[in-house]
Amino acid sequence: MIGDQYFRSQITDHRSHFVAEMSIENRERLELNRHIAQLLKCRRCPGMKSTPVSGGAIKSDIMIIGQAPGPREPVLQRPFAHTAGKTLFRWFEEFCGMNEAAVRSKIYFAAVCRCFPGKNSSGTDRVPAPDEIRNCSSWMDDEIGILRPRLIIPVGRLAIMQFIDCAKSAGEAVSFPYRLESLIGHKFRAKRAGYRFDLIPLPHPSGASPWHKILPGRELTERALKLIARHAATRELKVNLESTNPGILMQD
Ligand code: SF4
């Protein structure tokens, strides 16, 4: 019995030593893998119509925050898998020289809610309820703690509102609706979960709103994408991508 205890304590010691010896990079990767495994098991919100969708354990200095998956994403098991994704990835290709594969392999995808909320009575995707947003916020806080990102890109009003006081930033007296014109095309310094990072919001690329297609939305969206392309975190990510996957980047 004593021998058995001794043997087990030796294994425990060996494991602790092994974890201590692991590089910070590997530890963060391990933490992220564990996080995703837990996230995928989450069933906190009874009103949600799918299980959680994740873009995978991508160790990155950049996070893209969507609003919530639509009906296709849970089936295809990746965020931005349908029409909104087509526009989003076209933006990244055009302004940052990164195609969809490059973006998915190098940028961490999160969302305000990770499950499909279902449809509302008018047939459009239901906006997640405040308690669902609250339930899901701990997943995002944990991801910010693990990744400590330098740049966060919230996509769409609901995602932007999780990071900045939109009314204050837009110089408006009421908190909603606020003007996207005062938020898109600008870089903010934001703080969440105890960490500070740059924030460059994008409008939602779904076809539901034409805001990003007409002036001034079109110009402001282009300005925001140029800010993302010029950000140090994006430039370093591209250098890293080119060194590990020569030829994957589009020509500028
Ligand atoms: S929306 Fe978020 S908190 Fe709610 S069940 Fe899905 S993963 Fe869990």
Sort 49 into a burial class: Cβ within 10 Å, 0-12 / 13-18 / 19+.
middle
CA 184–ligand 1 middle distance (angstroms):
28
Q: Please state which CATH number belongs to domain 42-244.
A: 3.40.470.10
Q: H/E element holding 64?
A: strand 62-66
The token pair at 243 is 């060194």
Name the pTM for this structure.
0.87
Ligand 1: residue of 115, 137, 162 to mutate (most ligand atoms within 8 A of CB) is 115
Whole-number Cα distances in Å, 246 to 43, 102, 238: 41, 11, 11
Q: How far is the CA of 72 from the centre of ligand 1 (A)?
A: 17
- pLDDT by residue for the chain (252 residues), tens only, comes to 455 665 566 555 656 665 565 687 788 899 999 999 999 999 999 999 999 999 999 999 999 999 999 999 999 999 999 999 999 999 999 999 999 999 999 999 999 999 999 999 998 999 999 999 999 999 999 999 999 999 999 999 999 999 986 545 545 444 444 688 889 999 999 999 999 999 999 999 987 788 999 999 999 999 999 999 999 999 999 998 888 877 666 655
Interhelix angle 217-230/83-96, nearest 10 degrees: 60
Q: Is 49 in the pocket of ligand 1 (CB under 6 A)?
A: no
* Lookup: tokens for 199: 């924030």
Start-to-end Cα distance in the chain: 67
Least Cα distance to 149 among 107, 211, 183 occurs for 107
Cross-strand pairs, 109: 64
Secondary structure (DSSP) of 108-144: EEEES-SS---B-TTSSBPPPPHHHHHHHHHHHHHHH
Closest residue CA from atom 2 of ligand 1: 136
Nearest CA-CA partner of 37 in 25, 23, 52, 24: 52
